[in-house]
Chain A
Amino acid sequence: QSVLTQPPSASGTPGQRVIISCSGSSSNIEISSVNWYQHLPGTAPKLLIYTNDRRPSGVPDRFSGSKSGTSASLAISGLQSEDEADYYCTAWDHSLNGWLFGGGTKLTVL
């Protein structure tokens, strides 16, 4: 089964830069674009990055995305306490013919 692998947790202090990775395979990330979502428990997930590196209107430029080969990354610079949330990467998997979500990364702002 194809999966997208994320670290279960990440942390940083206010003002720091944090990078969250997302590892996939030749049937998903390598040939599909990657989207990232921010999810606060009890709320609806929010689109943070689409098509690898694009930000929807209203998303601060502290958030950036990149993709190379079978992996993608989300970078958050100038970390703020309000960034404490779960972050998920997603990509279309061409073998499964469906969307895959990463397992999610819980970001803690120390």
Chain B
Amino acid sequence: QVQLVQSGPEVKKPGASVKVSCKASGYTFTTYGISWVRQAPGQGLEWVGWTSPYNDNTNYAREFQARVTMTTDTSTSTAYMELRSLRSDDTAIYFCAREGSYYEDGGYYYSFDYWGQGTLVTVSS
């Protein structure tokens, strides 16, 4: 069965960096993209960005472009998200999600079909 298992909680000081991992199993890692989504306390879900394990392409949400790097390691089927210059408002649960897709009627359709359990990142001085 498909599983995405994320690394444990992190506590960081403002200005520091954090790197969260997401280990995939139960499917061919290079066949699906991985997106990262976060949820700040009391807030909704927010898309952070996407990376392709197939060719290392990335696409980041504009508000994170200057501070985020997403990578993958195909030898271990693991995706990583590094967020730099952390601020208190980066305190959130960060989820990885597999981007499933299918082709129909001339177009591709995408959704986040499997999710990791989430990693709490706390930024506090």
Chain B hits for A98, CB < 8 A? 47, 49, 59-62
- Total B residues in contact with A, Cβ cutoff 8 Å: 23
Binds B, one of A20-28, A43-51, A72-80: A43-51
Minimum CB–CB distance from B36 to chain A (whole Å) comes to: 11
- C-alpha gap A104/B116 in the complex (Å): 19
Interface of B: prevailing SS: strand
Partner of A35, one of B49, B59, B112: B112
CB distance from B92 to the nearest CB of A (A): 13
Number of contact residues on A: which range applies? 20 to 34
The listed residue (B35, B45, B49, B97) touching A88 by CB distance below 8 A is: B45
Chain B's closest residue to A1 (CB) is B62
Across the interface, which residues of B come within 8 angstroms of A86, CB to CB? Answer: 44
Q: Is the CB of B45 within 8 A of A51?
A: no
Q: Which residues of chain B come closer than 8 Å to A68, judged between CB atoms?
A: none
Contact of A37 among B46, B110, B112, B118 (CB under 8 A): B112
B113 touches A47 (CB 8 A): yes
- What sequence of 0s and 1s flags, for each residue 62-102 of chain B, a beta carbon within 8 Å of any chain A beta carbon? 10000000000000000000000000000000010100000
**Can you offer 11 A-B residue contacts whose CB atoms are under 8 A?**
A33-B109, A37-B112, A43-B117, A45-B45, A47-B113, A51-B109, A88-B44, A90-B45, A98-B47, A98-B60, A99-B61
